[in-house]
Homo-oligomer: A and B are copies of this chain.
């Protein structure tokens, strides 16, 4: 395997192939027998679990509770909100029957034509419709508001072109669905959850993101406004990493959800929804990893430190293990996840390569001579730098190093993004620059038509109208019409 790992495609040769290989070689996921669906392997799932746990804590800290709604949605529900059905009802998995029967020709089982559903059911592509149909019964008075609910679930969208983690037919996600008495409160909620996502992206994933609002073309089907965090991958393409939607009263109207306000008058309820998915795994991989494999930020690494003994015989191993045992328990007491790999059926070189490809942030290697000298070899995965350091106090060194790696990854990614962010004042300049990738700040006249034209001609879309940055007006690079401010264009995943 160590050798196999060396046969990695380089990012500079074929970024896309490098990604696909890495997902498999780092043991994160693999294609399944079902078109477009992946198997998330234990190591990949362990990273997702860390993401889940962290996000879940953040949602609870902001007052949300978890609940669970049905997987299947009656077809008619999807049609209630006009834009929503356009966006979601087209490519989806449709359940039409509820029974199989033995094939009369003796060939396994076949669908029983008599068990046809009266109304087809759709595997949820997102749950606004089933949830708002439920909220109708929960909301009567202003006293019932706000409702702050999150759901961890699987969803399904019948994507034609799939890539592991980035775009799969089935994926895992969380979807928050909140109901509010006022427009202001709902808008504030949508913005607050975008801040939670940005905080998570930057401080746990070490992925710098730009916060902003989507143009109408890129808006969630049924939303009044879609807020987004946009990250930049190492190939200069953008990745939408999380979205939070202000839904206005669209779903309340579609499902007739009103409440009696303090003045005793009925009013439609205001809504938000927000979600991040296993797609974050793709963002994590593509932001930090290198030609040697995965690079994980310490805050999300299932194994933060691995310790590999270098020994000749059982006696040598015993001596090392004795010293290592106290390091392991000291590190665990500090909340560090550490693995001591003393397996004797693999050589140190194999182990080094394996943990490297799996992105373990810090590796300690310790041999007989180290014991004598009171030293240990420390390797940090982000820079691949090796150093020989004193064994005494190594626990504090490791804790500091992990924080340094976490910080360094974010800074490195931010620096790369800054290098890859540029402006364009003319459409010619834009077309030239977009070929090199990255974010381009340019003026746009605010119309869907112009955005569409740019997309058709350059494959670039407006990633967002950022909340921060240059607010100077100008003229649209394509039409010359007035532009309120520059927006961010990029090619994207």
- Complex CA–CA separation, A32 to B143 (angstroms): 23
With A40-B67, A42-B149, A134-B32 as known contacts, state yes or no: A111 contacts B94, CB within 8 Å: yes
Given contacts A33-B133, A70-B34, A73-B34, contact A99 B90 (CB under 8 A): yes
Q: Which of B108, B111, B172 is within 8 Å of A68, CB to CB?
A: B172
- Contact across chains for A68 and B40 when beta carbons are under 8 A apart: yes
Tell me whether A72 and B93 are in contact (CB under 8 A): yes
Known: A72-B93, A85-B109, A134-B32. A67 touches B79 (CB 8 A): no
Known: A41-B67, A75-B109, A89-B109. 10 other contacts (CB 8 A): A46-B65, A46-B66, A70-B170, A71-B123, A71-B154, A75-B108, A90-B99, A94-B97, A94-B111, A95-B123
In residues 115-129 of chain A, which contact B (Cβ within 8 Å)? 120-123
**How far is B32's CA from A73's CA once the two chains are assembled, in angstroms?**
10
B-side contacts of A67, CB under 8 Å: 39-42, 45
Q: In this complex, what residue of B is CB-closest to A77?
A: B33
17 residue pairs A–B, Cβ–Cβ below 8 Å:
A30-B137, A32-B130, A33-B70, A34-B70, A34-B130, A40-B68, A42-B65, A42-B149, A68-B172, A71-B154, A71-B156, A71-B170, A85-B109, A90-B99, A93-B98, A94-B97, A96-B96
A148 to chain B, nearest CB (A): 9
Asked if A329 is at the interface of the complex by the 8 Å CB criterion, the answer is no
Q: Whole-angstrom distance between the alpha carbons of A30 and B68 in the complex?
A: 11
Contact between A32 and B100, CB atoms less than 8 A apart: no
Tell me whether B66 and A34 are in contact (CB under 8 A). no
Q: When the two chains form their complex, are residues B100 and A69 in contact, meaning their CB atoms are under 8 A apart?
A: no
A-B pairs, top 3 by smallest CB distance, nearest first, are: A42-B65, A37-B70, A79-B108
Per-residue CB contact flags for chain A residues 86-110 toward chain B (1 = under 8 Å, else 0) read 0001111111111111000000110
Check A158/B39 contact, CB under 8 A, given A45-B67, A68-B172, A70-B170: no
Total A residues in contact with B, Cβ cutoff 8 Å: 63
Q: Please indicate the chain B residues that have their CB under 8 angstroms from the CB of A216 in the complex.
A: none
How many identical subunits does the complex contain?
Answer: 2
CA distance A76 to B100 in the complex (A): 11
Which residues of B have CB within 8 Å of A435? none
In the complex, chain B residues whose CB is within 8 Å of the CB of A66: 42, 45-46, 49
A156 nearest in chain B by CB position: B71
Asked whether, in the complex, the Cβ of A95 is within 8 Å of the Cβ of B98, the reply is: no
- B-facing residues in A46-73 (Cβ within 8 Å): 46, 48-49, 65-73
What is the CA–CA distance of A344 and B78 in the complex, to the nearest angstrom?
40
Q: What is the distance, in angstroms, from A117's C-beta to the closest C-beta of chain B?
A: 9
Which of A89, A94, A96, A133 has the largest number of chain B CB atoms within 10 A? A94
Known: A92-B98, A154-B154. A33 touches B130 (CB 8 A): yes
What is the CA–CA distance of A246 and B101 in the complex, to the nearest angstrom?
27
A158 to B74 Cα, complex, angstroms: 16
**A12 in the interface (beta carbon within 8 A):** no
Contact of A94 with B90 in the complex, beta carbons under 8 Å: no
- B98 contacts A94, CB within 8 Å? yes
Q: Tell me which of A92, A96, A98, A154 has the highest count of chain B C-beta atoms within 10 A of its own C-beta.
A: A98
Contacts of A85 in B (CB 8 A): 108-109
Interface presence of A345 (CB below 8 A) = yes
User: A369-388 interface mask toward B, CB cutoff 8 Å, 1 = contact, 0 = none?
Assistant: 00000000000000000000
B120 contacts A111, C-beta separation under 8 Å: yes
A108 CB, nearest partner CB in chain B, Å = 4
Whether A96 pairs with B97 at a CB distance below 8 angstroms is yes
* Contact (Cβ within 8 A) B109 A100: no
Contact B72 A170 (CB under 8 A): yes
- Count chain B CB atoms within 10 A of each CB in A34, A123, A143, A156 and give the residue with the most: A34
Q: Which residues of B have CB within 8 Å of A153?
A: 154
